[in-house]
A = this chain, B = another copy of it.
């Protein structure tokens, strides 16, 4: 069973190396991956293609877990592990990342201090963000091109077919808006939390780890102050395995160093913040488009509703007029019917009675009809 479980966990990953930029396809099971990137099972599950989780960017101890639309990857200080799929966006991501890595840092445009310089993990993140933003903006543009003519057509001709198409369009719009909103919220949340951003400087964290490991060995007692000496005797009674303890001690040492160089760290956070800020503007602009489209649809529906109501009122006005006319005609018909009864009346013998009856009834009918018209106008039921 355990073996079967491992087998189930086998997934195809594309690995892009930070140093060389070379890519290779690997079949790795879930547990190897967990240990490789120091990630709990929970976090790996978020990348699982079987589940559809919303966009997420999580900064972990040694890795950044990225789930942005098609791009599902784990970024560490040394490599990007990208969940393989047949989607063309995944391949484009690899190609673009390799292209950027192949440009030697500081040599990009002839100068040596390009303002574009970023550590590896942020280059990988930037390519992922760019891919997601471009993809979503493309989808939004596609929707816009389809929607506006359809809506304008709908205002002039309301048909079940057009309504059904608008309904399907709205479903797509809502789904896309949700995805864009999610990416936007994720970026906004990251920008709001300085701690999370600091956590994502993997290259620097790794460097410090190595440095402090050696420096701790060289002066084992000196700088570790009172706080550390108290905490040390505590650890033996604790349950976590020793290897983990050691790592914590290192991270503790690291954080002590950090506090001494906090200004340097702040400088860095700014770099990431600037990166996120720029893509925030881009995705926000996409969201704007979609919200505008949503409001255009809503306005169009309001318009259609009022327009339908207005047309209906006009229809009923004419129906009322016709009913009035039919009523007058019916009265005429009754008069004719009355004189068609087989009673012998003296009127029949009078000359000109036929014409007189017709004219009188006709005039009465016209008077009745005009009275109704005047009354409807007086009650403001009809513009006339």
Contacts and interface: CB of A to CB of B under 8 A. Distances in A.
Contact of A331 (B158, B285, B310, B329): B329
Nearest to A317: B315
Contact of A325 (B208, B304, B327): B327
Interface in A354-384: 354, 357-358, 376, 379-381, 383
A277 B263 CA distance: 28
A274 B238 CA distance: 21
Main secondary structure of the interface of A (DSSP, over half): helix
Interface residues of A, number: 147
Nearest to A126: B42
- Say how many copies of this protein the assembly contains: 5
B306 A158 contact: yes
Nearest to A255: B263
A375 to B, nearest CB: 9
A296 B278 CA distance: 33
Interface stretch (A20-28, A83-91, A340-348): A340-348
Contacts of A38: 115
Contacts of A60: 274
Contacts of A4: none
A264 B248 contact: yes
Given A105-B240, A174-B295, A342-B342, 6 more contacts: A174-B292, A178-B288, A211-B234, A308-B309, A334-B336, A342-B345
